[in-house]
Amino acid sequence: MNNKLPIIFATALAFTSCIYDFDAGEVFTDERVVIEGDISLGDVCEFSARSVYPLNEKESVKDLFPNVLFIVEDDQGGQYKAIQKEYAPAMIDLSSAQPDRKYRLYVEIRSGDYARYASPWMEPLPAPVIGDLTETVNKTTTNTELVLGLDLSLENGSGCYRWDYEELYRFHSPLPGPEFEYKVVSGNPTLINHALANDYSWWPYTYCWRQTKSLRTSVAIARALEGWKLEKHKILTIPLQSDELGTGEFYLKVKAKSISETQYKYLDAMNKGSDNVGSLLSPLPSDITGNIRNVADTTLSAIGYVAVNTVATKIFRIETKGIDKWSSPIRYYRSPYDMFPDLHTTAELYRAAYSYGFYPYKWVETTVQWVPINCIDCRKNNGTLEKPAGWEMEGEDEEEEEGL
């Protein structure tokens, strides 16, 4: 299990007594609507709407309202409509949105009780400058971990920042590839022993790429720091034994925004009421309100805070290589003869073992030992064989070609 620890607040918080807590205002009931998403110019933005659920319930995509219209509008009549599937967040491409206009989010909830909501018209805040990412290896009494620190700045900005990150890394299956290939020949399952030809490269599913996202957004305030800059601000801690660092091919994509002091207070209050599981707004404290109002009755508000900003994106390749590890196959060995004692023919045994998710692995003493397929096929562990698009770094392709 990946034991990453996202760090949420800057150490400068202790010196910002002039920043008062966010005034929550109204107290909502279970009938309130939760609307999530930011209008971030230069990015593909995600929006969702759902009802409030109790703190002890776990979030599910089924909680999302199935029939909702999301539109980002600008003050010159421009509209950006969502591409949305049922019970899935709506996606709006704002890569072509102009920075010299005001924007708002308009929402129509068409499932259940019809309702319309809108955020206020706002000018986009400029994007911060993403500086360096520092890598520091720390040893503790129980673990050795990599600490990533980020530089963020914006001249004449608010001193408040928000960021999310995505990860892309190459990992391998728990066990090396099998010696045997399972094939069905003329209707009968057959095992081909590649070890006889010293061919251990025939199995293509040992190494994969995997993408993950941060579970929640992170915010920090740098008002007490020189130039209102974050320097080497700790954003991520990763054990050296983790899958991310094992092969030495780990990329981090940081998406950062400058936010207003008001939004910082809102997100700070929301984070204090969160249990670090699920999205930023789940579970919800019962005393938070934002800036999204019912169009028909502006005294009613949804739960959520929509901001308008410009996103800065930067991809880093992590240089620190972790501790690569392979599992011992012995603990996973299973013999079809032991698993299915009521079956008698070899074909029946092989077919049964394969259908139950096992694969022939290695000849041990007098029989072929099988292992669970997810131990040797990285695709079964949310992996893809091809590196996803959108992670290209300037100069990296040229370096790879020179190394050929």
Residues 51-106 have pLDDT tens digits of 875 434 444 444 788 888 999 999 999 999 987 777 788 999 999 999 999 999 99
**pLDDT value of residue 12:** 33
The pLDDT profile of the chain, 404 residues, written as one tens digit per residue, is 444 433 333 333 222 222 223 333 443 344 678 898 999 999 999 999 988 754 344 444 447 888 889 999 999 999 999 877 777 889 999 999 999 999 999 999 987 778 999 999 999 999 999 999 999 999 877 889 999 999 999 988 888 999 999 999 999 999 999 999 999 999 999 999 999 988 888 999 999 999 999 877 788 888 666 678 899 999 999 999 999 999 999 999 999 999 988 888 888 777 665 544 334 444 344 445 689 999 999 888 888 899 999 999 999 999 999 999 999 999 999 999 999 999 989 999 999 999 999 999 999 988 999 999 999 999 999 999 999 999 988 665 544 444 44
**pLDDT value of residue 269:** 74
Contact between residue 266 and residue 288 where contact means Cβ atoms under 8 Å apart:
yes
- Could you give phi then psi for residue 272, rounded to 5 degrees? -65, -25
**pLDDT value of residue 5:** 36
Tokens of residue 189, six digits: 């399952």
Among 94, 149, 104, smallest CA distance to 127 is for 94
Count of CB atoms situated within 10 Å of the CB of 106:
16
Contact between residue 376 and residue 177 where contact means Cβ atoms under 8 Å apart:
yes
Give the separation between CA 254 and CA 394, rounded to whole angstroms.
Answer: 16
Task: Tell me the pLDDT tens digit for each residue of 177-190.
Answer: 999 999 999 999 99
Contact between residue 254 and residue 46 where contact means Cβ atoms under 8 Å apart:
no
Contact between residue 289 and residue 107 where contact means Cβ atoms under 8 Å apart:
no
DSSP-assigned letter for residue 267: H
**pLDDT value of residue 392:** 87
What's the per-residue H, E or C state across the chain? CCCCCCCCCCHHHHHCCCCCCCCCCCCCCCCCEEEECCEEECCEEEEEEEECCCCCCCCCHHHECCCEEEEEEECCCCEEECECCCCCCEEEECCCCCCCCCEEEEEEECCCCCEEEECCCECCECCCEEEEEEEEEEECCCCEEEEEEEEEECCCCCCEEEEEEEEEEEEECCCCCCCEEEEEECCEEEEEEHHHHCCCCCCCCCEEEEEEECCCCEEEECCCCHHHCEEEEEEEEEECCCHHHHCCCEEEEEEEEECCHHHHHHHHHHHHCCCCCCCCCCCCCCCCCCCCEECCCCCCECECCCCEEECEEEEEECCCCCCCCCCCHHHHCECHHHHCCCCCCHHHHHHHHHHCCEEEEEEECCEEEEEEHHHCCHHHHCCECCCCCCCCCCCHHHHHHHHC
pTM for the predicted model, two decimal places: 0.79
Give the separation between CA 316 and CA 96, rounded to whole angstroms.
Answer: 25
Report the chain's C-alpha Rg in angstroms: 26
8, 11, 14, 20: CA torsion to nearest 10: -40
Displacement of CA 219 from its chain's centroid (Å): 16
Tokens of residue 372, six digits: 């669970």
